[in-house]
Amino acid sequence: MTGPLPELQPNSKLYLFEKFCNIWANLSYNNLTGPLPQCIGCYIKNPVYSSNFAGNNFTNYKEGEIYPNCTITITKAVLSLQALKLYGTNFPLYESEITSDPVLYNRLYGLNSTQISYFLSTSPYNMLKSHGYIDVHFKTPNITVRSPKFILESPIISNIRFTPLLNLGYTFQAVGFNFGTNYSVVKVDIPPYKCFVTYLDDYVIRCDLYNKSILEQQYSFNFNMSGSITKKSFNFVRSYPIISTIIPVPVSGGNITMYGYFGPNPQNVSVVLTVLTVVNTKYNCTDAVVNSSIIGCYLGPIIIPNDIYYQLIISAEVDGLSTFGGYTVLDDRLPCSNSGCGNHGACTTLGCVCYEGFRGAKCDLIADNPNIVVNSTGAHFGDDDGSFTFSIVSVRELTPFGVLVSETPIDKWIPKGINTSNGEIHSIFEFKKNNFTITSDFEEIISEKNITFAGIEMNLQPGSIKLSITLSSWQYISSVNYLQVVLNSTADFNQCDEDGSGDNGIETDGNLNFLQIKKGGKVFYGQFLNKVLSDQRATIVSNQIISEDDNSILIGLNLPHCNECVIDPNFSVLVDSEFNNDDCKSSLLKDKPWFLPVVVVIPIVSVAIIGAASYVIIKKNQLIKFNNKLEKIKNKW
């Protein structure tokens, strides 16, 4: 190679940056001519540089005799909480060529001929901001250059928080950096409202908005510093009034209790129950009293329609602010009779309580032991003939009237480990998105155990699965909204032939309190309590069928608005002793459509589902009964 230093083309394999000064290549002994650029010449006395350019004929460089002129400049210095960036000319490519005052140890992360970058944290940021400039010493040319006065990067808002301001409105707080300390050049708007600044430092600004009836919706926090505006969008959700738990009464009436947070010193309250049908009917809940955590009132007899879809909404107005909650009537009737328990159990308000050795909704089933597999996709129960599976699909936020406003798909479970302490086997999985977290804990029941949930005693048998699911830190769009957890249930199973010897389908009580899924001579049995613990208090909840196709069904679990909610359904492995294996021959099995709804009610921030999976061999002549019931359920929704 001879002649001047070549112009580097974009496809050259030599260069790493846009300009020649930012490449690192050995060009020694190539008879190159012309001037050596200052970005190299300033450091040519460094042996690392000189060895790459020895043996050439530059007009301004001859080792030991002639050296290029060297001018180094810093034209701009930009300071932020994360970084200090210096802009200028003829910077070196080696960190060892640079020292600084104030000293920034081991913080240099970016270097080329026109930019030097240091990464920062709070302490060095505060030090540099107080200092106002930096001196950079360049070792080989022995030149020290002082930077211009730091330019502070534009303010950055990372988070918006808000709290009630007595009974006057709300205090808003923006967290970030570069807000400054000069009150006279700063103002805040939250259109269409003005917010009056009460506190200001580099990292926090607080302001008061005097309107307690501000609507729940998305707003923009507009920080104005000397005419330069920084914006941050956020969802405003009131911290009160919020109903988290409702203790209902029968249709005959009684004293309703509502728990939640209703403000620091609530004074006036009114409560109304609305039956939503084609024509809405309202019932006043009288003699209402309120404190910060409880509303109590008396609800007289109400009429519930039997032949059309209806929805119950309870509304409370506290000091001019409204809140809503879904309401389920307390059913104090026996859901069964002793004869309905197959002479193998006793009928109670919880349904059949089976005698020893019998299980199922009608106490007509016996325990069995299918294979159970738990992994990140869900729980799988089966044997060589096929399997049942259930999983959580998504979590939704809905308005009090069922309008979907937000949905988070649950699609990436992270295994967190297996715990085998105290003779128990737990498989734990976790899902996270921003602050929202779901943790699922599958426990295999090794030996018989009794548990109590919401005042209800339950017995779990070996071969069962207890699944605890915890949901935390859901960010509501509105304080009156509720959550719905969507479950998907599927099946992959052989079935009896089509001549009537096989009996497939789902049997449920219509309220999804129990479920028997029948297919291929097997039954998947689940018992579901209609109570959850909402903020450590028992309350009644409801479920619904969202959709179904030939191989799966989606169930919506409607949850109260709460900070901590827990539910406990259970699943069991069962066999029907009356079934004749000759009725279902594996050589004649063919696929048939079927549905598998797995019903779990999961309220918001912390939810536990307890379950155990089961197979039972089925009885004939129940598919028609099931289909009729399913049609009634579908028509309701």
Most confident of 56-65, 199-208, 525-534, 592-601: 199-208
Residue type, 168: L
Residue 301 has pLDDT above 70, yes or no: yes
Closest by CA position to 531, among listed 394, 351, 389: 351
Domains of the chain and any CATH numbers: 3-58 (no CATH), 73-152 (2.60.40), 156-235 (2.60.40.10), 244-326 (2.60.40), 368-636 (no CATH)
Residue 142 has pLDDT above 50, yes or no: yes
Specify the higher pLDDT residue, 577 or 618: 577
pLDDT the model gives residue 589: 30
Q: Which of 66-70, 159-163, 328-332 has the lowest mean pLDDT?
A: 328-332
Specify the higher pLDDT residue, 161 or 509: 161
At 123-140, the pLDDT tens digits run 898 899 899 999 999 999
Length of the chain: 637
Specify the higher pLDDT residue, 550 or 214: 214
pLDDT the model gives residue 400: 82
pLDDT the model gives residue 231: 94
Yes or no: say if 517 and 491 are a contact pair by the CB < 8 Å rule: yes
Distance CA 218, CA 405 (A): 12
Cis peptide preceding 37, ω within 30 of 0: no
pLDDT the model gives residue 618: 31
Distance CA 399, CA 482 (A): 7
Burial of 590 (0-12, 13-18, 19+ CB in 10 A): exposed
Yes or no: say if 226 and 155 are a contact pair by the CB < 8 Å rule: no
Residue 13 has pLDDT above 50, yes or no: no
Q: In the 8-state DSSP scheme, what is residue 332?
A: -
Q: State CA 142 to chain mean position distance.
A: 56
Count other C-beta atoms under 10 Å from residue 402's C-beta.
15
Compute CA distances 229 → 186, 187, 192, 341, 633, whole Å: 10, 10, 16, 71, 55
pLDDT the model gives residue 629: 38
At 490-522, the pLDDT tens digits run 776 655 434 444 455 556 665 566 666 666 566
SS (H, E, C) 349-402: CCEEEECCCCECCCCCEEECCCEEEEECCEEEEEECCEEEEEEEEEEEEECCCC
Would the pTM count as exceeding 0.75?
no
The torsion region of residue 405 among left (phi > 0), alpha (psi -120 to 50) and beta comes to alpha
| pLDDT-based confidence at residue 20 (cuts at 50, 70, 90) | low
Mean pLDDT value across the chain: 78
Closest by CA position to 285, among listed 270, 275, 295: 270
| pLDDT-based confidence at residue 6 (cuts at 50, 70, 90) | low
Closest by CA position to 20, among listed 7, 30, 29, 1: 7
pLDDT the model gives residue 636: 39
pLDDT the model gives residue 127: 92
pLDDT the model gives residue 158: 92
As given in the structure block, the two tokens for residue 600 are: 């779990």
Q: Which of 54-68, 540-554, 620-634 has the lowest mean pLDDT?
A: 620-634
Most confident of 210-214, 348-352, 366-370: 210-214
* % the chain with pLDDT above 90: 28
Distance CA 280, CA 262 (A): 27
At 590-615, the pLDDT tens digits run 333 322 333 333 333 333 333 333 33
* % the chain with pLDDT above 70: 77
pLDDT the model gives residue 598: 32
